Amino acid sequence: MRAGGGESNFDWQAFYVRVISVFGILIAGYILILSMIRGSGVKGFVPAALTFLIASLSGRFIRTDNAVKKDALPVRELLVISACFLTAGTLFISQVRLLPESDPREVVEMAEQLVNGDVSCMLPGEYMYRYPYQSGVVLYVMAATVIAGSANTMLVEMINLCAWIGMLWLFSHLAALLWETPVITKTVPLAASLFLPALFDTLDVYGISLGIFFSLAAVDCAVFSIKKRRAVMMLPAALLLTAGIFFKSNSKIWGLGILAILFV
């Protein structure tokens, strides 16, 4: 602390460099161990070293000036965190290939059937007949199948990764709206990026990631509408929530959350 109880001289740049480097080490170590288990040997060292190098060097681009608006987004920091998360996620997706199971497998199979002109899944007693609310995610996977080909879920997984990166920006914007403190606005997306289970969720082809992304964007618009007294922002909130429900019907619970924000 400065003499007289002034502002803290804490070196946030050094803090971010250390935390991001630790994140890189964790991902690099995981990729290396996974490669050794799978028997790929030295091949796993390349993506591991690349992840660590990018994570270590990216801290030099972090802004240290404090002359920013309280509710402004830390764009440079978000770009660094997004680049690290994108790199780690891409390497993770390329190294780990999991076949969909249970309902996600049903969705992928139905999407491929419909692309090939087989509509038997819509007949009475079949999956789509019993669970019509899955239509949104099936249409989404159908589009991905047309673009990337059958039995290829990597496109959906990369879109999931982009959705999670978008959520990091939404987390930061929500923090800026609610707390208006630059330190919290920077720390929230960083902490979210360190939530490693999010990487595992990128492998899901069940619409969960996009459902959360659009629903979180709806909440962000609702909070912005209340904080800035702009009722018109409730319109995009409604549209975004509809998109979230389209991809994952369970997302309608986010609508209850928005109603709680409005009436509590």
pLDDT by residue (tens digit) across 126-166?
888 888 888 888 888 888 888 877 767 888 888 999 999 99
Instruction: Tell me how far apart the alpha carbons of residues 41 and 250 are, in angstroms, rounded to a whole number.
Output: 42
pLDDT by residue (tens digit) across 58-94?
554 444 444 445 556 788 888 888 888 888 888 888 8
Instruction: Tell me how far apart the alpha carbons of residues 133 and 263 are, in angstroms, rounded to a whole number.
Output: 28
What secondary structure does DSSP assign to 84-152, as a single string? HHHHHHHHHHHH------HHHHHHHHHHHHHHTT--GGGSTTSHHHH-GGGHHHHHHHHHHHHHH-TT-
pLDDT by residue (tens digit) across 209-223?
999 999 999 999 988
Instruction: Tell me how far apart the alpha carbons of residues 84 and 87 are, in angstroms, rounded to a whole number.
Output: 5
Token pair 């509809």 in the structure block, residue: 242
6 against 204, higher pLDDT: 204
| Residues 6 or more apart whose Cβ sits within 8 Å of residue 236 | 218, 221
